[in-house]
């Protein structure tokens, strides 16, 4: 019975005849999702057949075993009434090298692993986590102040913790292996961890458009990085004061700080970045503070099965660095069950701000806080067309728009302009002023949040 041959792709490769190049394909298959190599099919799909004698099959099997150390499934099948060799490789539990190279399958090509990709792949295949790997540093590199502070914070959840016994603490937290600090131990409790991990830091930049006004790098332990970033927020963000009368007297007046973004929500986002970032990725955590938005980007996209959409509600807690997360939990900084993002959302809603945006972006996870509920990204997510987005931008800049102005701006008929504007009214984005005629125009409905708050008293 003839066999149907699938097209070339991520898991399929055709070869006219056996050559050593076939070993590269098999190694790449083994290092990725597995795959099938067909011997006896030209690149254009023409079936030419292959030598299928026992001696030839044994020779191929010996080459695969000697060079790759794997044993694939190999069989002779009939394709177009010609014999073809089908060699199937399963994903390997370890990395398979060929000629000193580690290859992976990308589409119909084989590519070398980049160093950081190789590190991540080794960890994934071994079932280990980056933060659990031992470092070259011992207990002598511990920062006593960091350990004492942790002991104070963790007293409620670790009532018997004793900062005078650093080795016991490190062992109990899983941060010491055969006398060496794990990488989590270095980042949490060592003096100047950046001597070992230079990119384990947070960069905070102030921007006006694409112009960088100021940039600070925060280093030290993860605790020190968190403290430094939060202090920087207090220095650069706007704050106003709300004064409320609890009682009809001078003593009854209460003053409350209201920052342009809730500091507790920003803290959650920074903590998430420190705990969940991919430390094999060659980048630092980057925070952009702009006129009407604040962006936190951390290296490494969300680990499966998490998606950005899942972060808007209850979701599983998937830990990339469980030892780091455990230390933050014992210190009372986080909870175990993935409540950080839902808390961020609630804090922003309580202050009347738009929901932050969560996204996988440029190899990492990006959280965007905004004072403007009508950014182009949000409007596109709502299903608005580009004409309507342009109209919203026009109103944000000019304060109002008429039907004729929308016609001229978008280059559409009056009927299409009316349909666009009526839809924006029905969605609660625009409000119509006037009923009919030339005097009718449209404005944004409700208060706008596109401007930075000013210091003051409410």
Q: How far apart are CA 344 and CA 263, in angstroms?
A: 10
Whether omega before 305 lies within 30 degrees of 0, making that bond cis, reads yes
Q: How far apart are CA 286 and CA 273, in angstroms?
A: 10
pTM over 0.85: no
Same domain, yes or no: 163 and 305: yes
Same domain, yes or no: 76 and 195: no
pLDDT tens, 16-68?
999 999 999 999 999 999 999 999 999 999 999 999 999 999 999 999 999 99
- Is 175 part of any domain? yes
Domain carrying residue 146? 128-371
Same domain, yes or no: 367 and 380: no
Torsion sign over Cα 443, 447, 450, 451: positive
Percent of the chain predicted with pLDDT > 90: 71
CATH code for position 301: 3.30.565.60
Percent of the chain predicted with pLDDT > 70: 92
Phi and psi dihedrals of 80, rounded to 5?
60, 35
**What's residue 123's pLDDT?**
74
Q: How many domains does the chain have?
A: 3
Same domain, yes or no: 143 and 77: no
Same domain, yes or no: 75 and 194: no
Find, among 375, 349, 384, 383, the residue nearest to 295 by Cα.
Answer: 375
**What's residue 319's pLDDT?**
87
Same domain, yes or no: 139 and 100: no
User: What are 398's two structure tokens?
Assistant: 């000019």
80-100 CB burial, b ≥16 within 10 A, e <16: eeebbbbbbbeebeebbebee
pLDDT tens, 329-354?
999 998 766 788 999 999 998 988 88
């Amino acid at each position: 019975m003839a066999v149907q041959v699938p097209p070339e792709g991520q898991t399929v490769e055709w070869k006219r005849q056996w050559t050593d190049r076939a070993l590269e394909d098999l190694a790449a298959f083994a290092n990725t999702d597995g795959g099938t190599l067909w011997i006896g099919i030209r690149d254009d799909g023409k079936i030419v057949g292959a030598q299928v004698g026992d001696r030839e099959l044994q020779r191929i099997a010996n080459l695969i075993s000697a060079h790759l150390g794997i044993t694939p499934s190999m069989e002779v099948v009939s394709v177009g009434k010609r014999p073809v060799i089908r060699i199937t490789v399963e994903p390997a539990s370890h990395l398979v090298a060929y000629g000193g190279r580690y290859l992976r399958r990308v589409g119909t090509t084989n590519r070398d692993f980049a160093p950081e990709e190789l590190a991540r792949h080794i960890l994934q295949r071994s079932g280990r986590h980056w933060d659990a790997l031992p470092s070259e540093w011992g207990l002598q590199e511990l920062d006593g102040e960091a350990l004492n502070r942790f002991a104070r914070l963790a007293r409620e959840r670790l009532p018997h913790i004793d900062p005078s016994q650093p080795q016991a603490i490190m062992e109990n937290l899983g941060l010491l292996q055969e006398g060496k600090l794990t990488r989590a131990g270095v980042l949490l409790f060592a003096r100047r961890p950046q001597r070992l991990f230079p990119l384990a830091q947070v960069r905070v930049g102030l921007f006006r458009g694409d112009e960088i006004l100021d940039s600070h790098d925060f280093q030290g332990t993860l605790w020190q990085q968190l403290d430094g970033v939060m202090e920087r927020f207090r220095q650069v963000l706007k704050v106003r004061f709300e004064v409320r009368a609890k009682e009809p007297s001078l003593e009854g007046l209460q003053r409350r700080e209201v920052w342009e973004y809730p500091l507790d929500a920003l803290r959650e986002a920074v903590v998430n970045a420190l705990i969940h970032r991919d430390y094999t990725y060659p980048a630092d955590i980057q925070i952009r503070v702009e006129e009407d938005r604040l962006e936190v980007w951390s290296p490494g996209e969300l680990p499966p099965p998490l998606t950005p959409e899942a972060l808007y509600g209850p979701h599983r807690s998937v830990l990339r660095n469980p030892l780091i997360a455990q230390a933050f939990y014992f210190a009372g900084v986080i909870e175990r069950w993935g409540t950080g993002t839902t808390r961020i959302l609630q804090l922003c809603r309580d202050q009347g701000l738009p929901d932050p945006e969560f996204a996988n972006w440029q190899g990492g996870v990006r959280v965007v806080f905004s004072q403007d509920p009508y950014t182009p990204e949000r409007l596109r997510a709502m299903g608005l067309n580009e004409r309507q987005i342009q109209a919203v931008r026009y109103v944000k800049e000019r304060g109002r728009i008429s039907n004729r102005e929308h016609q001229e701006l978008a280059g559409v008929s009056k009927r299409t302009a009316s349909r666009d504007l009526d839809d924006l009214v029905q969605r609660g984005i625009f409000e119509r002023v006037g009923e009919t005629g030339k005097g009718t125009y449209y404005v944004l409905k409700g208060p706008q949040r596109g401007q930075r708050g000013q210091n003051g008293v409410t």
